[in-house]
Structure 1
Amino acid sequence: MTLNYDTCSPVFRPATVTSIDLPPRAVQFEPEFGKGIELTTQSPEAPALPEHYREILVLMKEGRRKVAEERCRTFLADAPTDADLMALLASIVVERGEIREAETLLGRAIALAPTEPVPWINLGRILQQGGRWGEAITHYEHAVNLFPTHPQLVATLGQLYQRANRFADAEKQYRAAIENGAKPAIHVQLGMVLLRQDRVDDAIDAFNTAIRLNPKLAAAYGNLGNALQKKNDMPAAAAAYEKAVALNPKDTISFVSLGMAQLKLGQARDAVEVFERALALHGPERRAAAWLPYARAQEFGEMPAGYRAEIAELVSRQPLEVPEGYASMAELNAALAAALEEDPTTVWEPRGKATRKGGQTGLLLDAPREPFIAFEKVLRKAIDAHFDGIKIQPRHPYRGMVPKTYHLDLWGTLLSEGGHQHSHIHVGGWMSGVYYVSLPATLGSGGESKDGWIEFGHPPPEFEAVFEPQTVTYEPREGDAFFFPSYLFHRTLPFTGEERRISLAFDVKPTSWR
């Protein structure tokens, strides 16, 4: 039942780009790492600022953004190579949603004045917000080469590496950021990637260092609890989670982790209360929704009535359309299988993942290429149609809200004989799914033989259930996808045969709601 903050998905969450930092002559920039994007300006009367800068800043301070933009464009027409003015205009237009223009302006500002870090930071934020992860990594790698001692740039590159499951690379960046005066929170990030490398004692040291430097850092205590769970010290883990919640009552992650620790300690009733309260106060919290039925079952000795029927209602089989440029789904699947077999990001038996006797690729849409570009288009079409059909049920952890816009994470799984994925959930997603690219002929055919099928409802292997699980099992079919809430525990059953079982998995991560 150990669950790290980033077990199933990366910790990095981009803020919505509604404002960005002003250029160097107009800003005193030192934001708290990991916070949302702030607009922090120097006083317009500061003597170091040229008159036209002060005029624009006064207008912005007064809320006269339209006039400020007009003046800025006028000044820029007279001084078309003024990088600071370009960055200043970018900070204005981004607030009314002109992201593309802001990106162009920041790119020009960087070309004209590559030694100023603020435009690099702001352009990186835009790339992250747009889900352009591959471009963001390349951008920050260039920036770090220019500013190797800038703690924010270095640490952000670490976050992006962490998101891409490049934990050793992320560790290197976090250590460099720490050496250059990064905030105590970076010690927490360091501990997280150490934990993902199964270096539990080193992770505990990092979390304790963060606590020593900032005793009020709730995230340090929460992650310390995760590490202590890894050492099976559940009383100490529970105490760490309680401290995290005391410091930050809105820390839903630590609150739910406390419930999970109580469940492991045999305190099922207390765990039920935590999960129910989390759902009541914080809405569709993934882990609370996942573990609540099992906590109730531990308390009463049997699964709640209707659990299997609930699974059957929430899991949806979705055949996908043939994408443009392909004659058939068979042609698409052949292209997908070939690309996945050759993908250089594949890691076999990846640490911290559910895959056994198989490999898992990196995130395939970070640097999109065919045939994944074509696949993404038909997948999004099917997802949007699925969302159109959801009838809102207030307070339901899945049907209570429907995404309007979303990021899509996509990765491949290749299983060899005996390969499987143990029961798990996708903490970082709202809806998850799997698409079947290539299936072995030895796959089970029903009845007693369900080798290689996907099963929902079974608790993870380390959970010692006192009840009989209620599960629903589905037969995979090439060209079909399954959509399901990310909080549903699911696993694949082992199979025999020399052919590989190849699939694509995905997470829908909402950025706005209908």
Structure 2
Amino acid sequence: MADIQKLFQQAVASFRAGQFSSAEQQFRHLVRFNAKHPDVLHVLALCLQNQHQPKAAADYLKTSLKYNPTHAPSRKSLISLYIQQGNYAGAQTECDTLREQQPQQFEPYLLQAQLYRTMGLTDEALQAIEKARQRLAKPLPIVDYYLACIHYDLAQYEQTEAILQNLVSQIPEYIDAHVALNKLYWEHGPQEKFLTSLTKALEKLPQSRQLRYSLAAHLLMSNQPQACLESCEATLKDLPDGAEFLHLKGSAFMRLEKLDNAVAAYEQALQLQPDVLRHRIDYATSMMRMGKYETALTNLKAVEKLHPHSQEALAYKALCLHALGRAEADALNNYDQFVKIIPLQAPKTYANTEQFMAELAQALQGLHKTQQQPLDQSVRNGTQTVGNLFAQKFPIIAEFEAMIEAAATQYVKGLPDSSSHPFLQRKSHGTRFTGAWSVRLAEKGFHSNHVHPEGWISCCTYIQLPQQVQPDDATKAGWIQFGDPGMQLPNVEPKVHAVCPKVGYCVFFPSYFFHGTVPFQGDGIRMTAPCDISPAW
């Protein structure tokens, strides 16, 4: 028994160190001694979740609860996993059970509030978080943090700021609160307060690794690469083995077009943390910029082993194969087969699809509340709605979701079967939405070239378009363009494919396809509603 306890402690230590693959193997070994132990099954599930295997993780959590129905940690993790994966019905069922088992505890109501917030049910989320607060003997930071987030969703920005300011004042290293507060300042102002919470916290805790990293990361996201670089270099004098700062330093060098310096920083980060996917993907892209496609491909294949469904790794792999002249590239970059523009069918209560889209545009306009582009998204000179669009309580949005679902079914049905193609092999009996939002672009607005890292299929519906977007326009202003990675690749001409949008039509494509928007000039609004779709559970 003592030996088993020692093995368990070693496995937990591996998990806490972020060595999820090693920890998984250690916990699988422990399962042989006791296949019903709730703690073993629970942490094994968390290992799998951190290795991008949500379905396997859910299976182990359900096994834990089958043999140990009152094991609260397993049920809480299952609720959080279901929320993350968009399985709201499953999350609600587990929330109900947890609340029955722990009626006087705050956590069932906190998780319920998180579920409601993710679903866009902000009023219900506010009621749930208040019930959580009622069950506390004294204020709890995590509960106050979610209260602030709900106030943000309700556009109650003064309350949001007051709560978050109080949190970072009391707990200077509360990083999530800093992130939320600076997101508020970036998107709604005042701009002069952006990053002030982090600089003030660092005055209190100048050696805080977390605060230093958050400040440097925010500097890079806000397009201040030189300031980010200086911040990283100052920290690395104290923490020479700070892999996260070395990686961030590499990214700052990339923004500054100093490729050799970036590669050196990425290499150091990768040596220290070889299993961190972000390090390896960014190192691979730096190799691509240098024309070292074989080296890049080797690193991307290593990413695939750790995360088989990484759309980002697959996108760069397709580019490498194209650069190397490999036949597999044509199968991956098959725009003719995989890019489809499908007309949406409006409900019969509307005269036509154009009328439906005009009314949908009016409904969406009120959801674009920010004053400028998101801090961490691909939108440039435009705005993006917050949260899950399909959770909004508008009948017309529910009708729109049904229209997209029908078109998605048509798209998937038209895909060929293949057990070897990384996109086609995920085709299953059904689909589920894992994200939906709206983007509004004005003159010179565009999407920078990007992929959707955790998707399978992505689509974009065109709700409103400026008159300049025309099929005979040689400049392709306002068109959606596929295949351009947004970076220069030596001796390679990317295979590019562009589609002219039409109001009432939805363009479907694999999530690993690089895509962006060609900027347009002049008056007019380009409003879209992109979605991400994954195979059904």
Q: TM-score scaled to structure 2, two decimals?
A: 0.63
Could you tell me how far 1:298 is from its partner in structure 2? 3.4
* Bigger fraction of residues in helix: 2
Report what 2:98 is aligned to. none
Q: 1:432 aligns with which of 458, 461, 465?
A: 458
Distance 1:135 1:209 in 2: 39
Distance 1:122 1:87 in 2: 22
Report what 2:16 is aligned to. none
Q: 2:176 aligns with which of 156, 179, 182?
A: 156
Distance 2:182 2:425 in 1: 31
Distance 2:152 2:404 in 1: 18
Cα 1:263–1:482 change in 2 (3 A) is same
Cα 1:257–1:332 change in 2 (3 A) is same
Could you tell me how far 1:209 is from its partner in structure 2? 4.9
Is the aligned partner of 1:411 residue 2:438?
yes
- Note the 1:111-510 alignment, pairs <5 A: 111=134, 115-118=138-141, 120=143, 134=153, 141=161, 143-151=163-171, 154-160=174-180, 166=186, 171-179=195-203, 181=205, 183-211=208-236, 214-300=239-325, 306=330, 310-322=334-346, 328-338=352-362, 343-347=368-372, 358-363=381-386, 365=388, 368=392, 370=394, 373-374=397-398, 377-378=401-402, 381-382=405-406, 385=409, 389=413, 393=418, 396-401=421-426, 406-416=433-443, 421=447, 423-427=449-453, 429-446=455-472, 450-460=476-486, 462-493=487-518, 498=522, 500-508=524-532
Distance 2:203 2:536 in 1: 41
Q: Deviations over 1:217-271 (max 9, x none)?
A: 4322222211111122222222222222222222111101111111222322211
The DSSP-based 3-state class of the residue aligned with 1:500 is coil
Distance 2:319 2:125 in 1: 49
Q: Deviations over 1:448-467 (max 9, x none)?
A: 6855432222342x414523
Distance 1:428 1:176 in 2: 35
- Contact 1:359 / 1:414 at 8 angstroms: preserved in 2? yes
Cα 1:258–1:391 change in 2 (3 A) is same
The DSSP-based 3-state class of the residue aligned with 1:503 is strand
Distance 2:440 2:111 in 1: 40
The DSSP-based 3-state class of the residue aligned with 2:513 is coil
Q: TM-score scaled to structure 1, two decimals?
A: 0.66
Q: Report the RMSD for the aligned CA atoms in angstroms.
A: 4.8
Structure 1 vs Structure 2: percent identity of aligned residues? 19
Cα 1:109–1:476 change in 2 (3 A) is closer
Cα 1:200–1:492 change in 2 (3 A) is closer
- Contact 2:382 / 2:445 at 8 angstroms: preserved in 1? no
Distance 1:253 1:463 in 2: 20
Report what 1:39 is aligned to. none
Distance 1:210 1:281 in 2: 30
Q: How many residues are aligned here?
A: 429
Cα 1:95–1:213 change in 2 (3 A) is farther
Distance 1:304 1:478 in 2: 35
- Contact 1:407 / 1:508 at 8 angstroms: preserved in 2? yes
Cα 1:451–1:164 change in 2 (3 A) is same
Report what 1:65 is aligned to. 70
Distance 1:439 1:65 in 2: 54
Report what 2:84 is aligned to. none
The DSSP-based 3-state class of the residue aligned with 1:89 is coil
Distance 1:174 1:447 in 2: 47
Distance 1:137 1:215 in 2: 43
Distance 2:420 2:235 in 1: 37
Greater relative contact order (Cα < 8 A, sep 6+): 1
